[in-house]
Amino acid sequence: MASHRKSRPAGTRVAGIRTPALATAALTSVALLSQTANANPATDDKPSLEEVEKKVDDLYRQAETATEKYNAAKERTTKQRKQVDTLLDDVAERTQKLNDAREELGSFAAAQYRTGAAAPDTATFLLADTPQDYFDQTQLMSRMTGRQKEAVDDYITEQSATMKKRKEATESLQTLNESQTDLKTAKSTVQKKLADARELLSQLTAEEKARLAAIERKRQEEAARKAAELADQQAAEEQRREEAAKAAAQQQSGSSSGATETSTGSTGSEATADSSYATKAEKAIAFARAQIGKPYVWGATGPDSYDCSGLTQAAWNAAGISLPRTTYDQVEAGTTVSLANALPGDLVFFYDDVTHVGIYIGNGMMIHAPKPGTYVREESVYYDGEGSIHSVVRPA
């Protein structure tokens, strides 16, 4: 008897089991979900563009800190090398004098020994490396002529001085070796930080680099706005001082001639001082401006490239003022003034560890060598934010 059951169409469910078509679809969905799940962690691990920018900035800052340490170590090494060379020359000269004194003593001892004028002990004394051991023996001293006694005294003096200088030279050589080690360490640190920064930047896509450039432009626009505010503030302060000076002059016009002359002389003295600084500052700024476009190179002092403190040192040197090599020392080489009272030529220092410097040119702007990969340029003192400004120093 034929069955009256109809056959089920393909693809329908039987007792909780899916047909091959549905099973395949399900497996495909699971695989896709699995791939998505596996892909998410990689996306999450990738730093954001802002994080990359901060990391790169931090690396450049660390490289600049290491650069100033390198500059200090290099300067210290140069000075110590000169000191060691001087000491070694002195030791060589004293050694020659010591040998001459020894030969003179030897000739005396040999003559006395040949003629029998002295006992063999006398020759032993005169030729010994440490004749002081016998020096106090009255019997021996009585046998010496005045010239021989003078020769012994000279020998002992030269021997003592030579030993002292040799010790100084040895200690200076040790210090020099330590400074050279510091120099190598600082150089290695700079190179490592710069390599890390370049590696991070090389991993950015073209779109990310464009976005990073846009962020930098926005930062520069804000820095320019702050510079304009500072320029307005300084102009207002200058006008206030001029009005105060005029008022003081009018008030003094009724004073006695003697008082007037005394006051005028004082004012003239201050004007002369300000004029002197302005003249020097003008020369320093002219030099710095002529370097615009030259590359930043860590440890460089010109004439083809500069780091930040190398530029300010060279600029003020052109004005006849000698500045120390590093930012750490330059910040101490002058009078500290407020940013509101900054004059063209003043040095503007940055960051808590004082690792960057530029030369102020007025209107909230400065000329500086910013960082590796950039060039000497004119820029707002707020280029890295108001909080980055450490102090302003007038170097002359």
How would residue 115 be classed by pLDDT, with cut points 50, 70 and 90? low
- CB atoms under 10 Å from CB of 308, counted, come to 28
Whether the pLDDT of residue 65 is over 60: the answer is: yes
Residue 246 has pLDDT above 80, yes or no: yes
Q: What is the pLDDT of residue 365?
A: 97
From the list 187, 368, 371, 390, the catalytic residue is 368
Q: Taking 70 as the threshold, does the pLDDT of residue 333 lie above it? A: yes
**Region for residue 363 given its phi and psi (left: phi exceeds 0; alpha: psi -120 to 50; beta: otherwise):** left
Q: What is the pLDDT of residue 161?
A: 72
Amino acid identity for residue 313 in this structure: Q
199 noted as active-site residue: no
Picking from 109-118, 120-129, 269-278, 320-329, which range would have the lowest pLDDT averaged per residue? 120-129
Catalytic site residue from 61, 102, 165, 356 = 356
pLDDT digits (tens, 9 = 90+) for 67-105: 888 888 788 777 777 777 777 777 777 777 777 777 766
Residue 35 pLDDT > 80, yes or no?
no
Location of structure tokens 């896709």: 32
pLDDT in tens, 292-312: 999 999 899 999 999 999 999
Name the catalytic one among 186, 197, 223, 308: 308
- Flag whether pLDDT at 136 surpasses 70: no
Residue 27: per-residue pLDDT:
37
8 Å CB contact between 357 and 391: no
Token pair recorded at residue 292? 């615009």
Tell me what pLDDT residue 192 has. Answer: 82
Indicate yes or no: pTM above 0.75.
no
Active site residue 356: yes
Per DSSP bridges, beta strands 356-362 and 365-368 are antiparallel
Cis peptide preceding 344, ω within 30 of 0: no
6 vs 128, more confident: 128
Stretch 172-201: mean pLDDT, rounded? 76
Strand order in the sheet with 347-350: 335-337, 389-394, 347-350, 356-362, 365-368, 377-380
Whether 308 sits among the annotated catalytic residues: the reply is yes
